[in-house]
Structure 1
Amino acid sequence: MKLKKIGASILAMAMATSMLAGCGEAQTEAPAEAQSTEATETPAAETSAATEEASATTEAKNIEATEITFWHAMNGNLETVLTEITDEFNNSNEYGIKVTLVNQGGYSDLQTKLQASAAADALPDVAQAYNNWLTPYLDKVVHLDDFVANDFDNWDDVVEAYRDECSEFGFVHAVPYNKSTYVLFYNKTMFDELGIEVPKTWADVETAAKTVYDAKGISFIGFDDLAGVVEASLHQNGVDYVDATGALFNNDKGLETFTYLSNLYNNEYARLVGEDGYFSNVLSNQQIASYVGSSAGVSYIKAEGWELGVAPLPGNVNKAANMAGTNIVMFAQDSNKQLAAWEYLKYITSTEAMTKWAVGTGYLPIRQSSYETDEYKAYMAENVCAAACYEQAKDFFFSPTFDASNDIRNTVPGVVEQLVFDKADAQTWLDTLTEQINAQY
């Protein structure tokens, strides 16, 4: 499976920005974002009148006043910022379009409600969704190709990997929105005290982990997303994870990968989160030296009496970093609702609105032009997370969506937990994960 990359132009711009020293404002913890937002073995999309590409985009607009319902899973400050942007659209659009936001709870709640509503033919006009949620009802997703081609302000301005993700089914099925990536959060004060350099390779992780464990008696690293660390580690070692046919890592490279992971856990250099729920809590209490989690969860870390550092993920043969966050999908509606919904999607993904969203929430901008605004540059100058995200932007990946992909993502964390509890060796990791993943097909 080919890794999908962010364009190098963003990285170059980021490296020209001064090194940063702060955190974002996102109010959603990482694992909720860790659903695979993956690139493709393309399921056959059935066509219908409701999902054909809308040809009205090539004609003069004649949009009647209407209400658009948007199902989302943004909470806390995220919902506040989304509401502000939506209110601005409602008050400014010339067509009398009113977008009503409906909070469906967390991501798992939203996924369940979308699937039930698809079966009942009662989907909302637009909704946040991960790609691997969509395969059971892909025929109900509106094709957006004509909208993008004829009525969008510079689709090429959208980060390339996000565009690829939103067209993985052979048509443009979504627009990207709340995007993040995984980074290494660490206790810089502890690192400095022990003379530890920020790890850039697996070997660095193992060396630093021994130093911390010997000096402090605590684990060095944790992973909020156990399925994500399996996938990322395989990519970092130059081996593919899964495709529509099954597991792809049952080989020497896979064994080498699980030797690294099993050694971390068996030596107590890595730990599970357990009852702490999220590693932000563990790091905040200085009970671990570092953890890998979503950049969107940085505001949950409370660095009281110590300094927080954020860095790109360590690699091995390759650098590879999980890309996370949902996209916004339009579902089958009449042509007027499609046109109205598209006006809203254009608005919230515009450079101005996207910059407000990114600064207000800590999510990454989807547009290169947002990175270049004075407002976002000022934000970056105070936020260490942005520097780490930019530095590894060229290494973002997402993995294929197919019928079994969601089941795989839901299965792997429990399998990994049991392997850790059993202090299993690398061969057992390899055999068990291969067997359990292939059982999902």
Structure 2
Amino acid sequence: MDLNPYIKSKKYGLSEADLKDYFQTFLDSDINPQFKGERLGFPTQRSIEVLYYNADMLKAAGYNEPPKDWKTFEEAACKASDPAKNKYGWAFRHDASNFASMVFGRGGRILAPDGSAYVFNSQAGVDTVAMIQRMFKNKCAVEIPTAERYGEQNRFAAGEVMFVIASSSGLPFYKESVDKGAKFKWDINMVPYNDKPAVNLYGASVSVYKTTPEKQLAAWLVIKFLGEKAQTTKWAVATGYLPVRQSAKADVVAAYKANPAWGSTADSYARMFDWFQYAMIESPVAGYDPVRSLIDAQVMSKVITDSTVDPKKLLDDAVVKANQILKENAPVQ
């Protein structure tokens, strides 16, 4: 149900100061364009996709900083790759969010702003798929099978891959793995982009189902409680996710810096707060899960094994199917 009446309630809602304290991009991510601005969920945590990179491997390939654009990303990944030694520039994950991050970084979108159609067959989508296809053809990337749990993290920690695009919530786990593994210098950066920075923002939200007025209000009060500074701080410190309030930032970062297990990774975490302004959302509409599976199965999985298939045709066919799914899940008028 729409949470706006609860948020705006003078007795039970959020004050103007509260609303200003929330990261606006986090709040905006739950607005569903299919329901004319209704808020069907509320954020209690978020994470972003970041580029994990092996700085030592990158330097050996002739680069002193992580790639800022996709051309340099591909070039560096190929220079660092040596299949004979099981070394690859990029760990390919069967995750539609990786695809979305690459599309965003080329100025494209997954879903039209008004939620009317999927549009990932734009030039940004074609260029993304074509790059993936080239990188596999040239042996610059390695597939991480879905059955290999945490495969990208483990291979990164072993020094076998230079780049991984994954959730920022993995920061403490990557640090732990590298410390136990090859012990190289590494860090995170924004995912590459061509013209304008773009960050893929995602995370679970909490919704309220229509029941009775009393139960609905009780559910909202729990959501409101979870979003308060004390709770979002505690959650972020315990999980590695990002707090939803700006006022929690200092306390969360301070807690990480005081924790020896985080080390210099705390500074990497702190930098991410400057990246929220570039946030993009994949698809805040019903039926996106099967579309995610479609992108992987019908597009990404095909180009990594077939260097001759046409990326544009794959995307066009996938968008037709995605829009059918969108139509099937659209609200009844």
TM-score (norm 2): 0.80
What is the aligned counterpart of 1:178 among 45, 49, 63? 45
Alignment equivalent of 2:142, drawn from 262, 271, 274: 271
Given that 1:295 and 1:385 are in contact with CA atoms closer than 8 Å, whether structure 2 keeps it comes out as no
Q: Superposed, which structure 2 residues align to 1:276-295 within 5 Å?
A: 276-278=148-150, 279-295=152-168
Matching residue of 1:338: 216
After TM superposition, list the pairs within 5 Å mapping 1:21-420 onto structure 2.
Answer: 141=1, 143-149=2-8, 150=10, 151-153=13-15, 154-168=18-32, 169=35, 170-196=37-63, 197-213=65-81, 218-224=87-93, 226-243=95-112, 244-250=115-121, 252-274=123-145, 275-278=147-150, 279-301=152-174, 302-303=177-178, 304=181, 305-373=183-251, 375-379=252-256, 382=263, 383-415=266-298, 416-420=300-304
Query: What's the offset of the Cα at 1:369?
Result: 1.1
SS at match of 1:289: strand
Change (3 A) 1:263 1:384: farther
Q: How much does 1:251 deviate?
A: 5.1
Runs of 4+ in 1 over 6 A off after TM superposition: none
Amino acid at match of 2:6: F
Relative distance call for 1:226 and 1:434 in structure 2 (3 A) is farther
Relative to 1, partners in 2 of residues 1:294 and 1:204: Cα closer, same or farther, differing over 3 Å? same
Give the conservation status (yes or no) of the 8 Å contact 2:125–2:315: no
Distance of 2:226 and 2:249 partners within structure 1: 16
Return closer, same or farther for 1:291/1:146 CA change in 2, 3 Å cut-off.
same
Structure 1 residues 184-221: Cα deviation after superposition (integer angstroms, max 9, x where no partner): 11222323444422111112212311321259662111
Separation of aligned partners in 2, 1:263 and 1:430: 14
Whole-angstrom distance in 1 between the partners of 2:124 and 2:40: 35
Q: Deviations over 1:325-348 (max 9, x none)?
A: 111111123222233223322221
Contact 1:202–1:315 (Cα < 8 Å) also in 2: yes
Name the SS for the 1:421 alignment partner. coil
Instruction: State the structure with bigger RCO (CA 8 A, min sep 6), 1 or 2.
Output: 1
What number of residue pairs does the alignment pair up? 297
**Is 1:222–1:291's contact at 8 Å kept on the other side of the alignment?**
yes
Deviations 1:216-238 (A, max 9, x none): 66211124353123222222222
Question: Shift in Å at residue 183 of structure 1?
Answer: 0.6
Structure of higher CA gyration radius? 1
How has the CA–CA distance of structure 1 residues 347 and 399 changed in structure 2, closer, same or farther, with 3 Å as cutoff? same
Q: In 2, Cα distance between the equivalents of 1:167 and 1:404? A: 15
Aligned Cα root-mean-square deviation (Å): 2.5
The alpha-carbon deviation at position 180 of structure 1 amounts to 0.4
Q: Is the 8 A contact 1:188 1:308 kept in 2?
A: yes
CA shift for structure 1 position 380: 5.6
Structure 1 partner of 2:327: none
Per-residue displacement from partner, 1:83-124 (whole Å, max 9, x unpaired)?
xxxxxxxxxxxxxxxxxxxxxxxxxxxxxxxxxxxxxxxxxx
The separation in 2 between residues aligned to 1:254 and 1:363, in whole angstroms, is 28
2:3 counterpart letter in structure 1: L
3-state secondary structure, aligned to 1:198? coil
Tell me the secondary structure at the aligned position of residue 161 of structure 2.
coil
Deviation at 1:323, TM superposition (A): 0.8
Say which SS state the counterpart of residue 309 (structure 1) adopts.
strand
The residue aligned with 1:422 is 306
Deviation at 1:409, TM superposition (A): 1.1
